[in-house]
Amino acid sequence: MIRIVTTCLSVLLICAAVNWACAEAVGGIYTSTAPKDCRQIGKPSALDGSTMRVCPGKSGLVVLIAEDDLREVVSVGRNRKEAAEEPAAKVWFAPFNSSDTTVEWRAAGAKPFAIIQRWHIADSSDPDKQGRPNTKAMLVVTRLPPGPVCHVAYVDAIANPTANELARKAADDFARGFRCGKDEVKIIGTRGRAVELATMR
């Protein structure tokens, strides 16, 4: 009888551990910030062409994309107002820039804790044949609520052949414990031209 009870308890503990591990399994899911998949807020400004759109995210969160003077900010919140008040909504890279329309959400079980997005930073020192600046690619890791939404890490996509893997590891390792306003944004891997452009002041 004792052996049967012990065996049953062991099985229950194993099942509980497996269920916990499954619930905490970290993975990636994707959403789009393409204009066709988002809601435009107001009309583009006649003065500077500035725009704002809100895109559906995961777990009740939305992604806010605001563009002004050929520069973008990306933030996340439960609604547009919350997203616009987050630290991420106030981070402007100095050079002209834009973000890709694919967002990777890093989640533990069903709860997202970070997003990863590819950005293109204009390099005025490297013009194309028409004299327009070529862009350099960089991955931005941004932490999500609970707590503030802010940039956690930058990964130069050209200088690092495994940039996607580095960004995912940075999100998984640092995002949940990152203290916005106190911790410095981490440069992961080799520091390339995109990161130099993004961090210049």
Note whether residue 154 is domain-resident.
yes
Of 59 and 22, the one with more pLDDT = 59
| Residue 96 domain flag | yes
- The arithmetic mean of pLDDT across residues 52-70, rounded, is 96
For 88, counting Cβ atoms within 10 Å of its Cβ (0-12 exposed, 13-18 middle, 19+ buried), the class is buried
Strands (E), 144-192: 151-156, 186-188
Asked if residue 12 belongs to a domain, the reply is: no
Q: In whole angstroms, what is the distance from residue 165 CA to residue 141 CA?
A: 12
3 occurs within a structural domain:
no
On the question of pLDDT at 16 being above 60, the answer is no
Helix (H, G, I), strand (E, B) or coil at 165: helix
Q: What pLDDT shows up at residue 155? A: 98
Q: Which is it for strands 71-77 and 62-68: parallel, antiparallel or unpaired?
A: antiparallel
Place of tokens 């591990």: 21
Say if 156 falls within a structural domain: yes
pLDDT of residue 48: 56
116-155 residues labelled b (16+ CB within 10 A) or e (exposed): bbbbbbbbeeeeeeeeebebbbbbbbbbbeeeebbbbbbb
Structural domain count of the chain:
1
- Which of 145, 146, 148, 141 lies closest to 187, judged by CA? 141
- 2 in a structural domain: no
Domain span holding position 167: 26-199
Kindly state whether residue 16 falls inside one of the protein's structural domains: no
Domain membership of residue 176 (yes or no) is yes
- 115-170 pLDDT per residue, tens: 999 999 999 999 898 989 999 999 999 999 999 999 999 999 999 999 999 999 99
Distance (Å, rounded) from C-alpha 176 to C-alpha 135? 30
